[in-house]
């Protein structure tokens, strides 16, 4: 995940990734795929993984790339290397990064000629407000326009092509159920837009989590944000697979409710964070309605974790918090999977091959430094954590995922 709270891309952000949406709906180019590259903590590995991204991009016959990142400082070494390695292989790119004042590039190269700075704050410094300096739809729109401009400059204008028949490679059906109210009661249920959550799940979860001292599950009503919360670990969607694997088949999704995981350490009071923690009054510590944060009208399913002392700073502790939150979501998934007596909106999402059209890819640079800066890939359920593969332990070798896999929650961010 991102370095500081204001730029961090949550699991929800990747699930609703603005660049993925902008590229997927663009009719002039083919959105060939997404490369997910982890940031390593050894310089040699940063260069190595960047070269592999270049190789993969070339094998995908990429005409141009959009490279997006939610870190700066050492993360920018990976960023500039990927742009360079793509450039060497004749692939022009548009960078998307937080720069401002604090994130000014620490190093660069001759290929680094186009970055969209998605800093949103006046000071140009990271803040502790989740979502404040997030990549938005507007930034994504600029990136797509600039990438077409770059294609034109490299002699591959998007309008001078002989387009052949398009092929649907994969279909993902999303059935979206609208939730109007969330409440506690004796058993978990979804009916007529009301999500009811069983009380007393905390103790069951704690029994198998030795790093967590206690757990609190809470429901926050829309607008009731004048309350203290601990440092944010993640925002994520509530969704489950009904048929097929991530990126295809059928997914059920709840709209109107978002999961928020927060945490603090016992005794020391340490708030888990990388650069700056985001504890405080909720309404002052989150910008709502971003891709990666809850909407103004959303209920928030709040899972607050009290780590045993020291465990708010270990990878295992952070993962235990994500796992615990997901066990709450699992309880909801059990009823969500079989939900058939409620109205829903149907969304059909396609991965489309467009022979003849220019091929554009998205490179997502995510953290894989280990400890608390990490990303995991391909959980069992959309936006989940359980069953996923850790970026750092796979040594940050890049993944290729389809746009639909991204939109079906294949990326989970830790902290």
Partner 1 sequence: MKLTTKPGMQSEIFVPITPKPVFTELKKPLSECKIAFITAGGIHKKDQTPFNTSGDFSYRTIPFDTPSDQLMVTHGGFDNSDINKDVNAMFPIDRLHELVKEGFIGSLADETYTFMGGGGNVEKFVNETGPEIARKLKEQGVDVVLCTGGCGTCHRSATIVTRCCEEAGMSCCVIAALPPIARQQGAPRITAPHVPIGSNAGEPNNAPQQTAIIKESLEWVRDCPSFNATKVLPYEYRHNV
Nearer Cβ to partner 1 (125/344): 125
Binding of partner 1 at residue 280 (CB under 8 A)? no
Binding of partner 1 at residue 121 (CB under 8 A)? no
Minimum distance between the CB of residue 5 and partner 1, rounded to whole angstroms? 9
Binding of partner 1 at residue 202 (CB under 8 A)? no
Q: Which of 186, 43, 160 is nearest to 106 (CA)?
A: 43
Nearer Cβ to partner 1 (117/166): 117
218: helix, coil or strand? strand
Among 141, 275, 335, 342, binds partner 1 (CB under 8 A): 275
Distance CA 126, CA 177 (A): 36
Minimum distance between the CB of residue 12 and partner 1, rounded to whole angstroms? 23
Q: Which of 209, 220, 304, 202 is nearest to 262 (CA)?
A: 304
Binding of partner 1 at residue 74 (CB under 8 A)? yes
Q: Which of 215, 195, 206, 193 is nearest to 263 (CA)?
A: 215
Binding of partner 1 at residue 125 (CB under 8 A)? yes
Mark the segment that binds partner 1 (CB under 8 A) among 14-22, 48-56, 66-74, 85-93. Answer: 66-74
Distances in Å between the Cα of 43 and the Cα atoms of 163, 366, 388 are 42, 16, 26
Minimum distance between the CB of residue 77 and partner 1, rounded to whole angstroms? 6
Nearer Cβ to partner 1 (43/228): 43
For partner 1 (CB under 8 A), the number of binding residues is: 42
Residues shown for the chain: 415
The alpha-helical segments, DSSP class H, found in 89-219 are 137-153, 201-206
Site string for partner 1, 309-338 (x = CB under 8 A): ----x-x-----------------------
Q: Which of 113, 119, 158 is nearest to 135 (CA)?
A: 119
The DSSP code for 237 is -
Binding of partner 1 at residue 115 (CB under 8 A)? yes
Distance CA 162, CA 27 (A): 14
Distance CA 284, CA 226 (A): 8
Minimum distance between the CB of residue 84 and partner 1, rounded to whole angstroms? 11
Give every CB contact of residue 130 below 8 A, 6+ residues apart in sequence. Answer: 5, 6, 8, 10, 232, 235, 278, 285, 286, 287, 292, 293
Nearer Cβ to partner 1 (114/339): 114
Q: Which positions from 128 through 167 interact with partner 1, judged by CB under 8 A?
A: 128
Among 36, 64, 83, 116, binds partner 1 (CB under 8 A): 116
Minimum distance between the CB of residue 212 and partner 1, rounded to whole angstroms? 20
Which residues contact partner 1 (rule: CB under 8 A)?
3-4, 41-44, 72-77, 99, 101-108, 112-117, 125-126, 128, 273-276, 313, 315, 369-373, 392
């Amino acid at each position: 995940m991102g370095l500081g709270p204001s730029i961090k891309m949550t699991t929800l952000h990747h699930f609703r990734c603005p660049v993925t949406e902008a590229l997927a709906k663009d009719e002039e180019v083919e959105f060939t795929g997404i490369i997910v590259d982890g940031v390593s903590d050894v310089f040699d590995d940063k260069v190595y993984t960047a070269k592999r991204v270049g190789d993969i991009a070339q094998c995908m016959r990429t005409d141009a790339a959009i490279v997006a990142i939610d870190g700066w400082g050492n993360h920018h070494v990976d960023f500039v290397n990927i742009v360079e390695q793509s450039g060497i292989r004749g692939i022009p790119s548009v960078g998307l990064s937080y720069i401002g004042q604090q994130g000014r590039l620490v190093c660069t190269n001759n290929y680094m000629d186009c970055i969209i700075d998605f800093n949103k704050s006046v000071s140009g410094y990271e803040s502790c407000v989740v979502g404040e300096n997030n990549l938005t739809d507007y930034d994504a729109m600029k990136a797509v326009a600039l990438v077409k401009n770059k294609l034109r400059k490299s002699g591959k204008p998007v309008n001078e092509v002989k387009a052949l028949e398009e092929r649907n490679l994969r279909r993902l059906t999303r059935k979206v159920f609208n939730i109007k109210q969330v409440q506690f009661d004796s058993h978990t249920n979804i009916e007529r837009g009301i999500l009811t959550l069983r009380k007393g799940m905390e103790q069951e979860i704690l029994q198998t989590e030795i790093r967590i001292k206690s757990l609190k599950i809470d429901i926050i009503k829309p607008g009731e944000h004048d309350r203290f919360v601990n440092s944010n670990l993640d925002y994520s969607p509530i969704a489950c697979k009904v048929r097929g694997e991530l990126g295809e088949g059928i997914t059920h999704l709840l709209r109107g409710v978002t999961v928020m995981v927060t945490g603090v350490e016992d005794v020391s009071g340490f708030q888990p964070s990388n650069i700056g923690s985001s504890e405080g009054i909720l309404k002052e510590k989150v910008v709502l309605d971003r891709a990666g944060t809850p909407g103004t009208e959303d209920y928030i399913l709040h899972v607050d974790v009290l780590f045993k002392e020291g465990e708010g700073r270990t990878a295992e502790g952070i993962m235990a918090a994500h796992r615990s939150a997901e066990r709450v979501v699992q309880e909801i998934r059990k009823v969500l999977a079989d939900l058939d007596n409620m109205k829903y909106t149907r969304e059909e999402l396609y991965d489309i091959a467009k022979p003849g059209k220019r091929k554009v890819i998205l490179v997502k640079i995510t953290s894989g430094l280990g400890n608390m800066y990490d990303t995991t890939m391909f959980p069992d359920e959309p936006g989940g954590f359980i069953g996923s593969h850790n970026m750092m332990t796979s040594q940050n070798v890049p993944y290729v995922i389809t746009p639909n896999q991204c939109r079906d929650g294949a990326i989970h961010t830790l902290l």
